[in-house]
Structures are given as structure tokens and as C-alpha cells.
């Protein structure tokens, strides 16, 4: 009988925060395709219904849960439901994000609002499930950061378009990358690994970015193009799998070489 692939997630229970948007469904499909039992947690269970339908139709296992990452009682209740139903948590993917800011000059209320999910909610979710995995002595946490957590804003990319890059996103993703290192140190002796994946820009086929932006962005990468959502998912599966058991505290750039220049 052949040995199981170290890249397989068969038998693992993975909780993913943030299942919608451009990246969420691709991550869920990759996790399920690798054999994981996936628990997708979102602010609205109804928003996950189409994804649940497509995953079940593909023969994969997906459970939808509702959670408020800004509320510790809500996170603790989710943890307890997952443990009661599955008996364990082997991995967590934090992909939840809020983008209330639209410009540098926005009211400070938008900045404060973004902190609830992208900073406070992130830490609360990771602590809640990190502690649960630490109690078992194993697990893997993967935080979805961004290349914008490693570089500054390039205004040339957005010239002549309606697009922009608000400051809160850079702040949160930079903080996520460094907190990942802290968390890796905190949980390492307890058998829990913590890593970040920093995607580059992802092409949106349903609502393509401005042609001028696409052309300029391609010139900033070594591969000459934006990424696709499915191309980010493989890195996440790898970091959750037994193929990466000696990797922790890392920030894996999946950006076509954008930040390597």
C-alpha cells in the first residue's frame, strides 16, 4: 500500500475565517481538494451557501459557520461547536478582511472600523484556536497577509484610474506578518506552527482591474502578470500539510516576484 502524500490534508479539520470574496472560495476548494474537512466561518452563513453547494457537488466536505471575529464569546462558541462536532482542529486559515477605508483622507471612524476585523479580530481568532491546538500539542496556523505588508505604496500603479491603496491595509498586513513571527515563537514549544502567506495582486475575472493598472502591475513582477486566486491556495495547503513540519515563523511571498526586485 503506497504511503500517503505529505502534501495531503486527509483526516485534518481546518477552520477558515473568510470564505467569500476573490480568494476565499479558491482556498476552500484547495483545502477540500487536498482532503481536509473544512469549516468555513463568516459573518453571514447565508453568504457561504453557493460555496457550500459547489463543494458538496464536487464531493468535498464543507461546513458553514457564522462568527463575529470582533466578539470573543462568538469565537469561543465557534471553537466549542467545532470541537464538539469534529473532536479536533488541525489547522486554521485567517483570510477574513474588512476594507472600510477608501482613501488617506477618510474619517478616522473608518480606520477604527477596520481594526475590528483586521487587527483585534485577527488576534482574538488566532488566540482562541491557537490555544485549542496547543492543548493537543499540534496544529498549523496560516495567516493571509499581503505583499503590501512588506512594501510601500506605489502611486504610479494607480495613476489615471479610480483605484487606490488606503493606508489601513498596509498597516494591518505589515502587523500581521510580524505578529506571525511572535505567534510562532509563542506556540512553537507547544507543537503549533504559525506562518503567513503574502499574495501579490490577484486578477479579478468577474470585475477586471483597470487596463492601465494591469499593464503597469505586470511590469512590476518577474512573471509579467497578476496572480490568480488558485495560485495562492497551493502555498496555504503546503503550510497546513505535513510537508512543512519544520517551517514556522515564515512569510511566504506568492507574488510573481514583485517583492524580490
Length of the chain: 261
Is residue 1 very low, low, confident or very high in pLDDT (cuts 50, 70, 90)? low
For domain 13-260, the CATH architecture is 3-Layer(aba) Sandwich (3.40)
Nine cell digits for residue 206: 468577474
Q: Which residues pair with 223 in a beta bridge?
A: none
Percent of the chain with pLDDT over 90: 95
DSSP 9: -
Q: In what order do the strands lie in the sheet with 62-66?
A: 62-66, 37-42, 13-17, 91-94, 139-144, 192-199, 251-254
Q: What is the pTM of this model?
A: 0.95
CB 195 within 8 A of CB 184: yes
Spans of all domains in the chain: 13-260
CB 200 within 8 A of CB 254: yes
Is residue 2 very low, low, confident or very high in pLDDT (cuts 50, 70, 90)? low
Nearest alpha-carbon partner for 151 in 98, 105, 201: 201
Does position 200 have pLDDT exceeding 80, yes or no? yes
Amino acid at each position: 500500500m503506497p504511503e500517503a502524500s505529505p502534501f495531503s490534508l486527509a483526516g485534518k479539520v481546518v477552520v477558515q475565517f473568510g470564505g467569500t470574496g476573490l480568494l476565499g472560495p479558491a482556498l476552500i476548494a484547495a483545502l477540500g481538494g487536498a482532503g481536509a474537512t473544512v469549516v468555513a466561518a463568516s459573518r453571514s452563513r447565508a453568504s457561504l451557501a453557493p460555496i457550500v453547494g459547489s463543494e458538496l457537488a464536487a464531493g468535498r466536505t464543507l461546513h458553514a459557520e457564522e462568527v463575529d471575529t470582533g466578539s470573543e464569546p462568538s469565537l469561543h462558541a465557534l471553537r466549542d461547536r467545532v470541537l464538539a462536532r469534529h473532536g479536533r482542529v488541525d489547522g486554521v486559515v485567517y483570510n477574513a478582511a474588512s476594507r472600510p477605508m477608501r482613501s488617506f483622507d477618510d474619517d478616522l471612524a473608518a480606520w477604527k472600523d477596520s481594526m475590528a476585523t483586521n487587527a483585534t479580530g485577527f488576534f482574538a481568532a488566532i488566540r482562541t484556536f491557537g490555544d485549542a491546538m496547543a492543548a493537543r500539542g499540534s496544529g498549523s496556523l496560516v495567516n493571509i497577509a499581503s505583499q503590501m505588508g512588506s512594501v510601500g505604496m506605489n502611486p504610479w500603479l494607480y495613476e489615471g484610474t479610480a483605484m487606490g491603496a488606503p493606508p489601513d491595509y498596509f498597516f494591518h498586513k505589515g502587523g500581521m506578518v510580524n505578529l506571525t513571527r511572535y505567534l510562532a515563537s509563542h506556540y512553537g514549544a507547544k507543537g503549533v506552527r504559525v506562518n503567513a502567506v503574502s499574495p501579490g495582486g490577484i486578477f479579478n475575472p468577474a470585475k477586471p482591474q483597470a487596463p492601465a493598472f494591469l499593464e503597469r502591475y505586470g511590469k512590476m513582477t518577474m512573471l509579467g502578470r497578476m496572480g490568480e486566486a488558485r495560485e495562492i491556495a497551493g502555498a496555504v495547503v503546503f503550510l497546513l500539510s505535513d510537508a512543512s513540519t519544520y517551517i514556522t515563523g515564515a512569510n511566504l511571498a506568492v507574488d510573481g516576484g514583485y517583492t524580490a526586485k
